Amino acid sequence: MPNTKRSRLTRFLIWRYKHISTKNFIYILSIVVGLLAGLVSVTLKNITFAIQSFLDMGLIFSENQLYFILPLIGLLCVYFIARFITKKNVEHAIPSILYSLSKKAGILSTKKIYSPLITAPITVGFGGSVGLLGPAVASGSAISSNLSRLFHLDSKTRILLIGCASAAAISSIFKSPIAAIIFAVEVFSLDLTFASLIPLLLASVSAVITSYFFLGDEVLFNFSVSEKFEIRDTLFYLLLGVGTAFASIYFTKMYFYITRLFDRLKRPLYKLLIGGLSIGGMLYFIPPLYGEGFGFINNLLEGNHMGALGTTPFDDMISNIWVVIALLAGITIFKAIAMTATFAAGGSGGIFIPTLVMGSALGNVVAKIINNIGFGFQVSETNFTLIGMAGLIAGVLHAPLTAIFLIAEITGGYELFIPLMLTSAISFLITKNTLDYTIYTRKLAEAGELITHDKDETVLTLMKLDGVIENNFVQVSPEMTLGEMLHQGVAKSSRNLFPVVNRNNELEGIILLDDIRGIMFKVELYETTRVEDLMHGAPEYIIYEEDNMKRVMKKFQDSGAWNLPVIKRGKYAGFVSKSKLLTAYRRKLINFTR
């Protein structure tokens, strides 16, 4: 049976090569990817809703004590699924995809197709304070990656189709096809050329049509702008931009701080217990932290802060607007903590939607403070709620264009385009100047494994050290005499460099032909001079486990050398020559930009 399937695939590929051009085939696949990613998004949403509905029917949610235990149950389920079914630790979706793009040529495991469909709905359905967009992108990207491998497409096309899957996920969830394309370009650093734009458009439109087919006209945010931008509010939007910038910095730093704290706990069960109980404790006091939080955002957009806050231990004081402001500010502060605790405890989800929740709360808080501070100012609380969401997306993800177009498409118009641009730009500029990298990219950037819009840097990131290591250097030992080296080394080598390697295959030093040119014909030195007397250290060493191609290039630049030795696990592994490195770089650049 496997042979039959393989022969069918082979016949199809031959037929495809004869009748369908590669460009048109990519267009067809982008539509298929959009359809499948849209189905993934719809499936994730429906499974999560089913779990929440089941819990709602079976338990009395008015008793806040139940919030204390549900996240722990959900995390336990995810732990057992990861350990005994998928047998793979839950990964943060977007960073794992970015890593596969830079170091694995976009190859993703087939397990990533179905594992997010199981673990993410359980995490969110049981109250984990994360979103479903990341898992939708992860599953869709895994589908794209494996389709590309099935049809023997190159790594560049595979990366493009993964970008199509990410665009399709956003397009399906938010029904915002333009913002979806921009997200793929900003977050995955895709080149927005005509060759990539058409597949992204096709995937985005295919996904949004899929969403309409299964969900009808249902949208996440049923809202349209009724209060237009007033020029007198400009200063307040600038102030909101500064506020969302500081909130973005807090969000990012809190994420890494809590992650480091949990990393100190070596046993997964300890992380699970502490994370689950801490999330439950926060939910007891701030119920809107439960799950994704779309209901919270919609209530704020409708001007219903009582519905947004739900039942809290502070209901007796809720008539005081400053208590409401304090509770909403608490959501801004604790959403980041609850989200990170969910991840650190082993939950599955994304940060995009929690960022929207945090931004909506902050925008509403700023508007309420302006309206109630007593200076006679009045601003639109719903507009500030929307603009706050854009400000957090721009700051946390370093994706200002995604933020602007997402909110513009959600609201069905561009009446708020000016305040969106003001707030998003300020938030992005302040955050970018404070934090070089985002939650998605920091770890990869520190390891030099991040693909960026800088083509030179991206090409270096995509190159692999193994492809430029040369092994045709004749090795000599330190104990050799000059005569032995000349007969066994120089006479048999076409290179002008000789690595000096001991019996344990450790590099002792190097000898250049120039080092012995003046004595190589002095026969009287053949027996009295040894290699260890002539060798010297290399100007720099390439450490296989530590140095990426960017560092390798810098070592050549700083040392001025033409050849540098490679050390792998403490042993000599060969040399990298500058000429071969530059040739490989040029070929990769041509392939990447064509």
The DSSP line for 497-537 is: EEEEE-TTS-EEEEEEHHHHTTTTT-GGGTTT-BHHHH-B-
Residues 169, 251 within the same domain = no
What CATH number did the domain enclosing 574 receive?
3.10.580.10
Q: Are 388 and 363 in contact (CB under 8 A)?
A: yes
Residue 385 belongs to what domain range? 231-453
Per-residue pLDDT tens over the stretch 538-550: 889 999 988 888 8
Is 220 within a domain?
no
Measured CA to CA in angstroms, residue 398 lies from 191, 350, 451, 452 at distances of 17, 16, 15, 12
Determine how many CB atoms are found less than 10 A away from the CB of residue 566. Answer: 23
pLDDT band for position 19 (50/70/90)? Answer: confident
**Residue at 487 is within a domain:** yes
Model pLDDT, residue 85: 85
Q: Tell me if 226 is assigned to some domain.
A: no
Q: What is the rounded average pLDDT for all residues in the chain? A: 85
* 98-126 tens-digit pLDDT: 878 777 778 888 888 999 999 999 999 99
The pLDDT assigned to 500 comes to 92
- Please report where in the chains the tokens 């000898």 appear, as a residue: 511
pLDDT at position 61 is: 47
Alpha helix (H) residue ranges in 397-522: 400-410, 417-434, 442-446, 455-462, 482-488, 513-516
Given pLDDT bands bounded at 50, 70 and 90, which one contains residue 284?
confident
- Judge if 258 and 283 occupy the same domain: yes
State the Cα–Cα distance between residues 392 and 383, nearest whole angstrom.
14
Asked whether the predicted pLDDT for residue 5 surpasses 60, the reply is no
CB 417 within 8 A of CB 228: no
Domain boundary among 215, 245, 275: 215
Q: List pLDDT tens digits, range 226-245.
A: 678 888 899 999 999 999 99
What would the mean pLDDT of 15-44 be, rounded to a whole number? 91
Residue 424 sits in the same domain as residue 318: yes
User: The domain spanning residue 268 has which CATH number?
Assistant: 1.10.3080.10
Q: Mind listing the pLDDT tens digit for each residue in 121-178?
A: 999 999 888 999 999 999 999 999 999 988 888 888 888 899 999 999 999 988 889 9
Tell me which amino acid residue 97 is: I
Domain boundary among 453, 485, 516: 453
Residue 296, helix vs strand vs coil: helix
Rounded to whole angstroms, the Cα distance separating 291 from 434 reads 30
Is residue 224 a part of any domain in this protein? no
Residue 4 has pLDDT above 90, yes or no: no
Domain count, the chain: 3
**Residue 490 and residue 353 share a domain:** no
Q: What is d(CA 383, CA 428) in angstroms, rounded to the nearest whole number?
A: 19
Q: Which two tokens stand for residue 295?
A: 């209901």
| Judgement on whether residues 284 and 388 belong to the same structural domain of the protein | yes
Q: Is the pLDDT of residue 304 over 80?
A: yes
Tell whether 387 and 479 lie within a shared domain: no
Distances (CA, A) of 185 to 138, 179, 429, 519: 16, 10, 19, 60
Q: What is the DSSP letter of 350?
A: B
Same domain as 355, residue 211: no
The residue whose two tokens read 């385009």 is: 417
Give the pTM. 0.78
Same domain, 277 and 352: yes
Q: Residues 308, 191: one domain?
A: no
Q: What is the rounded average pLDDT of the residues 363-372?
A: 94
Are residues 120 and 102 part of one domain? yes
Count of other CB atoms within 10 angstroms of residue 97: 28
Q: Are residues 516 and 553 in the same domain?
A: yes
Q: pLDDT tens digit string along 75-99?
A: 999 999 988 888 777 877 788 888 7
Closest CA to 550 of 398, 445, 435: 445
- Residue 477, in any domain of the structure: yes
Decide which of 436, 453, 470 is a domain's last residue: 453
Query: In which band, very low, low, confident or very high, does the pLDDT at 64 lie, cut at 50, 70 and 90?
Result: very low
Establish if 494 belongs to a structural domain.
Answer: yes
Strand partners, 252: none
| Residue 9 counted as domain residue | yes
Q: Is 183 left (phi over 0), alpha (psi -120 to 50) or beta?
A: alpha
Are 20 and 155 members of one domain? yes
Percentage with pLDDT > 90 across the chain: 40
In a domain, 222, yes or no: no
